[in-house]
Chains A and B, each alone.
Chain A
Amino acid sequence: MRMVTFRTSYKAKRLALALAVVLLLGFFLLPKQLQSVFQEVGSPIGWGVSWPLRAVSGIQGGVADFWSSYVALQGLQEENMELRKELEQLKGQHSQLHEAAAATERLTALLEFKEQEMFPMVAAQVIGRDTGNWYRAIILNKGESDGFRPHMGVVTPAGVVGRIVKTTAATSVVLLVTDPNNAIAGLVQRTRDEGIIEGTISGLAQLKYIPLLSTVRLGDRVVTSGLVEGFPRGLSIGTITRIYKSEGALFQFAELTPEVDAGLVEEVLVIQSPNLQTENEPSGTLKGKRKP
């Protein structure tokens, strides 16, 4: 093999060492402040980098579309037949639900319940995945300039996808509901038992802190409870597939299969809830108020 020699001047070495020490000290002494400085300064850089990211994502999307539209069409007829059958069943269910909804509306009017406020939602496209291996996250093609902020909830019509954790001028990073470091307040739709939904290392989610006396069972649907910022009440999260508890534990736990397969999601809706707390504000301070 050929020889490659490495030399660095003494001055450069000292400069590198000094820079490393200063940064290290800064990171230990003022971690939050430095983090926000780097995030703020990086926001326009993120905008610049988002262009090649969108371009590559567009090309990749085009290739994937071509593949799914023209190449991977085997078994389409069978799938079509199954979907037609399913549609017939759903039509029947739809008319029943329509009746139930009309009845609920009448009763709501009678009892003068206040309707749950619907926050405005903005559509965004998924243009990439987390650049590292430590978190399950996706990157959206919209950011601060579109009004996106950290802690905003991200959904699809099927259910919850995750929560925005970081934004630049033109992109946002969404931590998925299946990431173990994400936590959302949820409740079992049938029993109204509340708990915390957390991702698992196997790529699913779990509902923690279900009371021991709860009658929760397999197949129960879990929805958002509306107690955590970013998500209104009633958004579908997943279906319970396993219930377990440790010996002597005060609570039981349930494993969920999320409604949304984050690996396949291409478009999402970002809930622009007005009462989001920013990091700089003291806890308890609200940016806006919900309508009464």
Chain B
Amino acid sequence: MKILGIAGLIVGLIPIQSVLLPHVAVGGVMPDLGLIVVCVAGFWGGELEGLLVGLAVGWIMGLFSAIDLIVGISTKGLVGYLAGVVGRHVVYMTPVMLVLGLFAASCVSSLLTALMLALNEQQNVWWVLKTIVLPQAVFDGVVGGVFYWLAWNRLDIEWLVSKYRT
């Protein structure tokens, strides 16, 4: 059931990310919902779940992007794994912690991507940092925080987490 839920979530992510989010892009940068899902899976489910969800999201999203599949798979997988490691040591998951965690995860993911992609000479490190890495990290943190805050206010988060783990 849980696997089906995650699969449905991943499939649902693609149209949102590809069709709807470009309309809210600021300066050509939009939040990465896939990364947010991977981080949440890692935080809540641990290393293995973070890794597996990361690999799956990286793979499926890579099929609908010009990015090298391997880069997408490995960065999302690694971020999911790291989120799982961090999640084990984080006792209190507050919206602030989640926002900071997502910001850091997004920075790590984008920097790894920039390192692994053979980007054009026009796209140097500073350009990448100021036009993609930092704006996307801010976007990811804010969007993740808003989702968490909404879930916190509208839903029983502890029940959701316990359900997710079983």
CA–CA, A35 to B66, complex, Å?
13
User: Judging by beta carbons under 8 Å apart, are A129 and B22 in contact?
Assistant: yes
Known: A12-B48, A45-B60, A173-B65. A133 touches B136 (CB 8 A): yes
User: Judging by beta carbons under 8 Å apart, are B32 and A132 in contact?
Assistant: yes
Nearest CB to that of B34 among chain A residues?
A131
User: Judging by beta carbons under 8 Å apart, are B47 and A139 in contact?
Assistant: no
CB distance from B16 to the nearest CB of A (A): 7
With a cutoff of 8 Å between Cβ atoms, the chain B residues found around residue A133 in the complex are 28-30, 32, 132, 136
Interface magnitude class on chain B? 35 or more
User: Judging by beta carbons under 8 Å apart, are B16 and A56 in contact?
Assistant: yes
Q: A137: CB under 8 A from chain B? A: yes
CA–CA, A200 to B12, complex, Å?
32
Within 8 A of B (CB), among A153-173: 165-166, 168, 171, 173
Within 8 A of A (CB), among B70-95: 70, 72-74, 77-78, 81, 84, 87-95
User: Judging by beta carbons under 8 Å apart, are A131 and B18 in contact?
Assistant: yes
User: Judging by beta carbons under 8 Å apart, are A49 and B14 in contact?
Assistant: yes
User: Judging by beta carbons under 8 Å apart, are B74 and A24 in contact?
Assistant: yes
Known: A8-B48, A15-B48, A173-B64. A131 touches B14 (CB 8 A): yes
Known: A3-B91, A8-B47, A180-B123. A132 touches B61 (CB 8 A): yes
With a cutoff of 8 Å between Cβ atoms, the chain A residues found around residue B16 in the complex are 56
With a cutoff of 8 Å between Cβ atoms, the chain A residues found around residue B81 in the complex are 16, 20
CA–CA, A180 to B20, complex, Å?
24
CB distance from A17 to the nearest CB of B (A): 7
User: Judging by beta carbons under 8 Å apart, are B67 and A132 in contact?
Assistant: yes
Q: B43: CB under 8 A from chain A? A: yes
The number of residue pairs between A and B whose CB atoms lie closer than 8 Å in the complex comes to: 184
CA–CA, A15 to B51, complex, Å?
10
Going nearest first, the 6 A-B pairs with the smallest beta carbon separation are A8-B46, A128-B18, A56-B15, A135-B66, A180-B120, A16-B48
Interface, chain B (partner A; CB < 8 A)? 11-12, 14-20, 22, 28-30, 32, 34, 43-48, 50-52, 55, 59-70, 72-74, 77-78, 81, 84, 87-95, 113, 117, 119-120, 122-123, 127, 131-132, 136, 157-158, 161
User: Judging by beta carbons under 8 Å apart, are A57 and B15 in contact?
Assistant: yes
Nearest CB to that of A46 among chain B residues?
B63
Interface magnitude class on chain A? 35 or more
With a cutoff of 8 Å between Cβ atoms, the chain A residues found around residue B61 in the complex are 131-132
Q: A19: CB under 8 A from chain B? A: yes
CA–CA, A27 to B91, complex, Å?
34
Known: A34-B70, A53-B15, A132-B32. A201 touches B48 (CB 8 A): no
With a cutoff of 8 Å between Cβ atoms, the chain B residues found around residue A34 in the complex are 70
Known: A53-B19, A173-B66. A1 touches B92 (CB 8 A): yes
CA–CA, A127 to B17, complex, Å?
12
CB distance from B91 to the nearest CB of A (A): 6
CA–CA, A200 to B121, complex, Å?
10
With a cutoff of 8 Å between Cβ atoms, the chain B residues found around residue A98 in the complex are none
Within 8 A of B (CB), among A229-259: none
With a cutoff of 8 Å between Cβ atoms, the chain A residues found around residue B94 in the complex are 1
Nearest CB to that of B158 among chain A residues?
A2
User: Judging by beta carbons under 8 Å apart, are A201 and B123 in contact?
Assistant: yes
With a cutoff of 8 Å between Cβ atoms, the chain B residues found around residue A165 in the complex are 66
CA–CA, A173 to B68, complex, Å?
12
Nearest CB to that of A167 among chain B residues?
B63
CA–CA, A28 to B127, complex, Å?
27
Selected A-B contacts with CB under 8 Å, 16 pairs:
A4-B161, A6-B43, A8-B46, A13-B46, A39-B69, A46-B63, A49-B14, A49-B60, A53-B14, A56-B20, A128-B18, A131-B18, A137-B65, A166-B66, A200-B122, A201-B123
User: Judging by beta carbons under 8 Å apart, are A132 and B19 in contact?
Assistant: no
